Amino acid sequence: MKKKQSNNNTIALNKKARHDYQLISKFEAGLTLQGWEVKSIRAGKANITDAYVFIKNGEAYVTNISIQALTQASSHVVCDPTRMRKLLMNKREIEELMGGMDRQGLTIVATAMYWKACWIKLEIYLARGKQDHDKRDAIKDRDWSRQKERIMKKG
């Protein structure tokens, strides 16, 4: 008998990224994880709000993803919850990220961690930082669209 698949494959979201950055182009990357990390992620102990992606020696890495260790899964291993993890990406994708960072002054932001089949993937974006007035404009637009919806429902 097959297991019923849940529709929600999301493990962790970085909601602050959509507020602080203008997201430009999307990439999907795999993560190199240890066994205790996968068990902790299955238990919902992951947080990516402070995640930082950088490129070093032609390879992409992410740091500050907080994965809290489970006591029963990591009794024999020294666990570092915020260790640096390598991202698994194509060379072409890494070169595109490097080009965006170098030529356009963009940054790389992690926005979501999710399951894709049995693999854990990280959704990252090339992004441009928003200034305060841009954030206020986005909030005004969102509020106005909500008001329009309410008016349309009543009328």
pLDDT tens digits for 79-102? 777 788 999 999 999 988 888 888
What is the per-residue pLDDT for 121? 92
**Residue 78 falls inside a structural domain:** yes
- Is 92 inside any structural domain? yes
Show the domain range for 23.
Answer: 10-130
The number of domains in the chain is 1
Residue 4 is predicted with a pLDDT of 43
Residues 6+ apart with CB under 8 A from 77: 34, 36
Asked whether residue 141 is assigned to any structural domain, the reply reads no
Please name the residue that has the structure tokens 């907080």.
66
| CB distance 109 to 5 below 8 Å | no
Residue 55 lies inside a defined structural domain of this protein: yes
Q: What is the CATH number of the domain that holds 47?
A: 2.40.280.10
With a CB cutoff of 8 Å and minimum separation 6, the contacts of 124 are 26, 27, 28, 29, 53, 62, 87, 108, 109, 110, 111
Average pLDDT over residues 13-32: 87
Asked, for residue 150, whether it belongs to a domain, the answer is no
The answer to whether residue 5 sits within a structural domain is: no
Does residue 81 lie in a domain region?
yes
Q: How far is CA 109 from CA 73, 93, 96, 133, 140, in A?
A: 30, 15, 14, 21, 24
Residue 88 inside a domain? The answer is: yes
**So what's the pLDDT on residue 29?**
92
Mean pLDDT of the chain: 83
Q: What is the pLDDT of residue 148?
A: 86
Please work out, in degrees rounded to the nearest 5, the angle formed at the alpha carbon of residue 140 by the alpha carbons of 135 and 142.
95
pLDDT of 76 > 90? The answer is no
pLDDT (tens digit per residue) in 100-137 = 888 887 888 999 999 988 899 999 998 888 777 777 87
Sheet holding 52-56, edge to edge: 10-13, 107-116, 119-129, 21-31, 85-88, 59-63, 52-56
pLDDT score at 123: 92
Closest listed residue to residue 120, CA positions, set 4, 49, 33? 33
